[in-house]
Amino acid sequence: MTHVLITGGAGFIGANLVRRLLSARPDWKLVNLDLLTYAGDLSWLADLEGHPRHVFERADLAERAQVDAVFERHPIELVAHLAAESHVDRSILEPAIFVRSNVLGTQNLLDVARARKVRRFLHVSTDEVYGTLGATGKFSESTPLAPNSPYSASKAASDLLVRAAFHTFGFPAVTSRCSNNYGPRQFPEKLIPLMIANALADQPLPVYGDGQQVRDWIHVDDHCDGLLAALERGRPGEVYNFGGECELPNLTVVRTLLRILGKDERLIRYVADRPGHDRRYAIDCEKAKAELGWRPQRRFDEGLAATVDWYRAHQEWVARIRSGAYRDYYDRQYGGRLSPGGGAPR
Ligand code: NAD
Ligand code: DAU
């Protein structure tokens, strides 16, 4: 049995990856390390309780002793590192938490994994480390890092620490950088689940600025396929971009969701733009296709409709989240900005 550590396995992508790996690799035992912040939710994995090949370990990556203890208990050979503070808007409100978990947390994990001589370490990063694009062009793996938000700066810092571990110590680390994921179980602070949840509740849909910012959308299952390929076949020291080859302005995504849900476009509210908002992301993922034999397979229209169905079927889960501490965040982020009447783009 190969012991594989997944950090952040109670989060959106991590939980989807846990399920993918359990079915795809019957000889892998998964050690799921997660702090269970506001974004982690074990109820998603409740059916795995007692599963012989999945064990959950609550630990904080920023506390080195807690990471050591997990490696002491399990003979970890492979690591997929996903745990992070992941939301740009929260990083603008409270940057220091992002440095603690994403930078210090990654360094602690690197140190312990190196001391324990793991065979392969996959660092899961983001296209946001490249900054922003104008009307043309795509990010390739050699695009210089130019992060613009506290979140992306903390991820870029962690990418550089991983790079340093490879160059200085020969540590077998691979880095992946992916575009915007969507799919089931995403925390409803991110664009797509937030818009679905608000529309289902007939509440205003806050679109930042003019809504013409472009993101490249990838289904979480396509990302997870890429992560498995990079973990098994990625070359140490290399970076691999993943993207959905599906660039869309935010407003198009929001309007499509309203159409699927049969809701009125008058629910849209144009609110003040996100500070430092990156205008456009686009990903060149030819390297992953050529070297890993990977490509995105899910169509956005089908994936989005299935995602809407998932949120429709899990309204209780969404309501539970939105009634708790989420309320304070929502009021801090949007309070006073969602006046009735909509209005023109800002
Ligand atoms: P998420 O916020 O849904 O989940 C993150 C998980 O990490 C949570 O379960 C949380 O409890 C855990 N965590 C946070 N701090 C921790 C700490 N100090 N110690 C242990 N666990 C901690 O995030 P996600 O959207 O699933 O993203 C996962 C990873 O993928 C992140 O590294 C993110 O930067 C990267 N990524 C995300 C996207 C996307 O579109 N969501 C795209 C590209 C890359
Ligand atoms: O590109 C990969 C990144 O994608 C990941 O690294 C991040 O972890 C993930 O959160 C995501 O970052 P974004 O900032 O692009 O995602 P978000 O869903 O927050 O926003 C998507 C776009 O929608 C962005 O242009 C901002 C806009 N937006 C978002 C929210 C929450 C709105 O217009 N209104 C909103 O209320």
User: What pLDDT is recorded for position 337?
Assistant: 73
Query: 240 pairs with which residues across the strands?
Result: 176
User: What pLDDT is recorded for position 11?
Assistant: 98
Between CA 327 and CA 331 the distance in angstroms is 6
Atom 10 of ligand 2, nearest CA residue = 87
User: What pLDDT is recorded for position 335?
Assistant: 85
Between CA 162 and CA 293 the distance in angstroms is 24
Q: Alpha-carbon dihedral of residues 81, 138, 147, 87, nearest 10 degrees?
A: -60
Within 8 A by CB and 6+ apart from 114, the residues are 165, 169, 171
User: What pLDDT is recorded for position 324?
Assistant: 82
Between CA 341 and CA 278 the distance in angstroms is 27
User: What pLDDT is recorded for position 346?
Assistant: 60
Atom 25 of ligand 2, nearest CA residue = 213
Q: Pick out the chain residues at pLDDT < 70.
A: 339-346
Within 8 A by CB and 6+ apart from 172, the residues are 118, 119, 120, 121, 166, 236
User: What pLDDT is recorded for position 339?
Assistant: 58
Atom 3 of ligand 2, nearest CA residue = 180
Ligand 2 atom at minimal distance to the Cα of residue 205? 36
The CB of 51 under 6 Å from ligand 2? The reply is: no
- The answer to whether residue 151 is catalytic is yes
> In terms of CATH architecture, what is 2-179+218-242?
3-Layer(aba) Sandwich (3.40)
Burial class (CB within 10 angstroms; exposed 0-12, middle 13-18, buried 19+) of 35: buried
Catalytic residue among 34, 41, 127, 247: 127
Distances (CA, A) of 129 to 125, 158, 179: 8, 10, 11
Q: What is the DSSP letter of 157?
A: H
For residue 287, report the distance from its CA to the centre of ligand 1, in Å: 24
For residue 83, report the distance from its CA to the centre of ligand 1, in Å: 4
Angle at 125 between CA 123 and CA 129, to 5 degrees: 135
Q: Give the predicted TM-score (pTM) of the model.
A: 0.97
